[in-house]
């Protein structure tokens, strides 16, 4: 794997000012070379019961006693962004996507699926029943249904969130909604029923009808289904929530220190997607151009947008872990008088809509159902990166994703789009307020450094802001300081340049709002060795 082009030159431990970090004077990495040929790894098996015991009890006490330092994300480049890799592909964060792009997200070059459907077996895993099917072209899919009495919920949430996560940059399968009738489902000649222990037997018509009897159906007898295309390659199981995959030579960064995994907490909080555990990720061993390597996918999004699960409900979903000792202690300590943060967080009663609302939404207090190690490592820089991607979504783009849920009640589409936008803005305001939310840095040869204040770009109510700049040379010696204010979201400062290392200069910028200086961002400048143009070669954001 190519280095991410960050060079750490550690000086004296007592050094003050801009700190010891210096960047190599070269173009930041935009793509990680993590597609080296490898043999097929062992398939990681997800043992649900053991996993739950481990995350709720086995790791909780040791994690609480550890005093480990916060580690800055290790999969970012010199500009503090995530390069393209087998974990993430920059899409809406760096380029324009049309609503049509989002609707087709995940399909790649495949033709749209089309019935009739041949059932080749039952779906294994997960709480909801379903089938493995092939469409008219022979493509393979998982077919899932809505809970009886909960029409449009899981199927709609799955597709909407899949489209949004694809647009963000994650690898996902193609998911789509269809309506099928019983006569469009036929058994394949080798169809098998498989239980969770791997036992198989021949599937008969009665097996198919028994599944259909448990799921939601329309008055005309038809069934609304989600079809999720099988991924290419061979599955190797879900990726671990911490450490690396020892049998993958391309996996060199501890998973808990990957921004691509940490920042999912911000995205999933926005989307109220609480079912986060190791089997909701999937490594696929694929072949391309004569090489084999793993691509890391996110799968199974039906428990999102406030949808809880198959014939279940939990009013604390999104506010507390499924086994939450802190909430239990509050309740016990107040003899039940404690006002729970989820009280009243019900949302609208509309067909297809779960407990999805914005009035009680707090991105920092949001909880997934099961403790997930990368989410415990999220810092302000991770949150800022995720929030600025979230704010790239426009109303037409979000509407395009929601419309792919094919909700029968048009009010559900309007409601979900509105709440997504409300939660989008709450998320961004929260994370933009944790540090100096300055971005889109550009420098000219006369050493004028310009930038955007994203909090003022997106939120007109934010007052005019003062920006304080302190300038340092390569050795960390202070050159000067300056202050500027702007009524515009865009501002500039002129830097005195350092005397050595291609006039290497560090500009420490802080936004000052209501008299309080937010944690700064440090922008590193140097002349390009080839063109001699002054350029930004590195960015790092300080933590609160």
pLDDT tens digit string along 341-351? Answer: 878 888 889 99
Choice between 112 and 6, residue whose per-residue pLDDT is larger: 112
- Tell me how far apart the alpha carbons of residues 92 and 166 are, in angstroms, rounded to a whole number: 9
The whole-chain average pLDDT of the chain stands at 90
- Tell me how far apart the alpha carbons of residues 404 and 122 are, in angstroms, rounded to a whole number: 25
- pLDDT at position 342, please? 78
Which residue carries 């609208």 as its tokens?
348
Over residues 435-461, mean pLDDT: 96
Closest CA to 227 of 311, 295, 137, 320: 137
The model carries a pTM of 0.93
Assign 2 a pLDDT band (cuts: 50, 70, 90). Answer: very low
Over residues 230-258, mean pLDDT: 96
Choice between 34 and 108, residue whose per-residue pLDDT is larger: 34
- pLDDT at position 9, please? 31
- pLDDT at position 61, please? 63
- pLDDT at position 125, please? 62
Q: What is the pLDDT of residues 473-488, one digit of tens each?
A: 999 999 999 999 888 8
Give percent of the chain above pLDDT 90: 75
User: What stretches of 210-339 adopt beta strand conformation (E)?
Assistant: 223-229, 234-235, 281-288, 291-298
Spatial neighbors of 411 by CB under 8 A, at least 6 apart, are: 348, 350
Tokens of 225: 């289904």
- The angle that helices 153-168 and 395-403 make with each other, rounded to 10 degrees, is 140
- pLDDT at position 46, please? 85
Q: Which residues pair with 485 in a beta bridge?
A: 466
Angle (nearest 5°) at CA 310 between 160 and 124 = 90
Q: What is the pLDDT of residues 398-445, one digit of tens each?
A: 999 999 999 999 999 999 999 999 999 999 999 999 999 999 999 999
Assign 496 a pLDDT band (cuts: 50, 70, 90). Answer: very high
Assign 265 a pLDDT band (cuts: 50, 70, 90). Answer: very high
Over residues 233-237, mean pLDDT: 96
Closest CA to 79 of 541, 543, 542: 541
DSSP conformation letters of 92-139: TTTS---HHHHHTTT-TTPPPP-S-EEEEEE--SSSS-EEEEE-TT--
Q: Where are the alpha helices (DSSP H) in 315-462?
A: 325-333, 380-390, 395-403, 410-432, 454-458
- pLDDT at position 137, please? 93
CB 127 within 8 A of CB 309: yes
3-state secondary structure 503-532: CCEEEEEEEEECCEECCCEEEEEEECCCCC
Query: Is the pLDDT reported for residue 10 higher than 70?
Result: no
Over residues 500-509, mean pLDDT: 97
Domains, the chain, in order of start with CATH, read 32-434 (no CATH), 438-541 (2.60.40)
| Size of the chain in residues | 544
Over residues 522-529, mean pLDDT: 97
Over residues 155-159, mean pLDDT: 96
Query: Over the range 492-508, which residues count as b (16 or more CB within 10 Å of their CB) and which as e?
Result: ebebebbeeebbbbbbb
Choice between 59 and 248, residue whose per-residue pLDDT is larger: 248
Assign 127 a pLDDT band (cuts: 50, 70, 90). Answer: low
Query: Is the pLDDT reported for residue 146 higher than 90?
Result: yes
Three-state secondary-structure class, residue 305: coil
Q: Tell me the CA distances in angstroms from 473 to 13, 180, 438, 495, 532, one per residue in order.
A: 18, 67, 21, 11, 18
- The angle that helices 410-432 and 380-390 make with each other, rounded to 10 degrees, is 140
- Tell me how far apart the alpha carbons of residues 452 and 525 are, in angstroms, rounded to a whole number: 17
Query: Is the pLDDT reported for residue 60 higher than 70?
Result: no
Q: What is the pLDDT of residues 362-407, one digit of tens each?
A: 999 999 989 999 999 999 999 999 999 999 999 999 999 999 999 9
Assign 312 a pLDDT band (cuts: 50, 70, 90). Answer: low
- pLDDT at position 319, please? 83
Query: Is the pLDDT reported for residue 140 higher than 60?
Result: yes
Over residues 283-311, mean pLDDT: 91
Assign 199 a pLDDT band (cuts: 50, 70, 90). Answer: confident
- pLDDT at position 24, please? 96
Choice between 127 and 260, residue whose per-residue pLDDT is larger: 260
Assign 64 a pLDDT band (cuts: 50, 70, 90). Answer: low
Query: Is the pLDDT reported for residue 453 higher than 80?
Result: yes
Choice between 56 and 516, residue whose per-residue pLDDT is larger: 516
Three-state secondary-structure class, residue 163: helix
- Tell me how far apart the alpha carbons of residues 277 and 298 are, in angstroms, rounded to a whole number: 11
- pLDDT at position 4, please? 40
Q: Tell me the CA distances in angstroms from 279 to 2, 54, 110, 186, one per residue in order.
A: 29, 15, 25, 29
């Amino acid at each position: 794997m190519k280095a991410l082009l960050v060079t750490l030159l550690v000086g004296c431990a007592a050094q003050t000012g801009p700190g010891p970090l210096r960047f190599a004077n070269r173009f930041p990495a935009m793509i990680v070379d993590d597609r080296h040929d490898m043999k097929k790894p062992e398939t990681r098996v997800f043992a649900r019961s053991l996993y739950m015991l481990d995350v709720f009890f086995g790791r909780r006490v040791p994690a609480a006693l550890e005093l480990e330092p916060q580690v800055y994300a290790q999969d970012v480049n010199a500009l503090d962004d995530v390069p393209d890799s087998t974990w993430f592909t920059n899409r809406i964060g760096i380029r324009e996507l049309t609503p049509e792009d989002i609707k087709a997200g995940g399909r790649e070059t495949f033709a749209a699926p089309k019935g009739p459907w041949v059932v080749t077996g039952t779906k294994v895993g997960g709480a909801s029943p379903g089938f493995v099917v092939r469409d008219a072209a022979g493509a393979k899919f998982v077919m899932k249904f809505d809970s009886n009495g909960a029409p449009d919920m899981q199927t709609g949430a799955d597709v909407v969130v899949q489209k949004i996560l694809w647009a963000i940059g994650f690898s996902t399968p193609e998911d789509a909604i269809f309506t099928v009738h019983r006569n469009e489902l036929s058994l394949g000649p080798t169809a098998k029923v498989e239980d969770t222990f791997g036992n198989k037997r021949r599937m008969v018509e009665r097996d198919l009808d028994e599944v259909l009897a448990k799921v939601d159906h329309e008055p005309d007898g038809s069934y609304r289904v989600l079809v999720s295309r099988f991924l290419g390659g061979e599955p190797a199981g879900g990726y671990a929530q911490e450490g690396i995959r020892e049998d993958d030579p391309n996996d060199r960064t501890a998973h808990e220190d990957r921004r691509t995994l940490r920042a999912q907490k911000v995205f999933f909080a926005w989307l109220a997607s609480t079912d986060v555990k190791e089997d909701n990720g999937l490594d696929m061993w694929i072949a391309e151009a004569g090489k084999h390597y793993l691509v890391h996918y996110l799968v199974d999004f039906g428990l999102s947008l406030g949808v809880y699960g198959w014939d279940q409900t939990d009013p604390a979903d999104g506010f507390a872990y499924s086994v939450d000792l802190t909430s239990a202690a509050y309740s016990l300590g107040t003899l039940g008088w404690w006002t729970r943060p989820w009280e009243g967080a019900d949302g609208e009663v509309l067909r297809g809509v779960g407990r999805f609302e914005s009035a009680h939404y707090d991105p920092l207090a949001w909880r997934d159902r099961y403790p997930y190690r990368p989410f415990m490592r999220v810092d302000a820089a991770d949150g800022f990166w995720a929030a600025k991607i979230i704010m790239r979504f426009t109303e037409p783009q979000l509407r395009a994703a929601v419309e792919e849920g094919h909700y029968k009640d048009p009010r559900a589409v309007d409601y979900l789009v509105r709440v997504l936008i409300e939660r989008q803005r709450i998320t961004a305001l929260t994370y933009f307020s944790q540090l100096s939310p300055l971005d889109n840095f550009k420098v000219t040869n006369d050493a004028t450094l310009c930038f955007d204040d994203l909090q003022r770009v997106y939120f007109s109510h934010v007052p005019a802001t003062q920006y304080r700049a302190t300038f340092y040379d390569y050795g960390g010696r202070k050159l000067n300081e300056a202050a500027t204010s702007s009524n515009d979201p865009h501002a500039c400062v002129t830097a005195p340049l350092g005397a050595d290392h291609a006039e290497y200069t560090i500009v420490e910028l802080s936004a000052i709002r209501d008299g309080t200086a937010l944690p700064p961002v440090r922008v590193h400048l140097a002349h390009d060795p080839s063109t001699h143009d002054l350029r930004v070669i590195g960015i790092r954001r300080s933590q609160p």
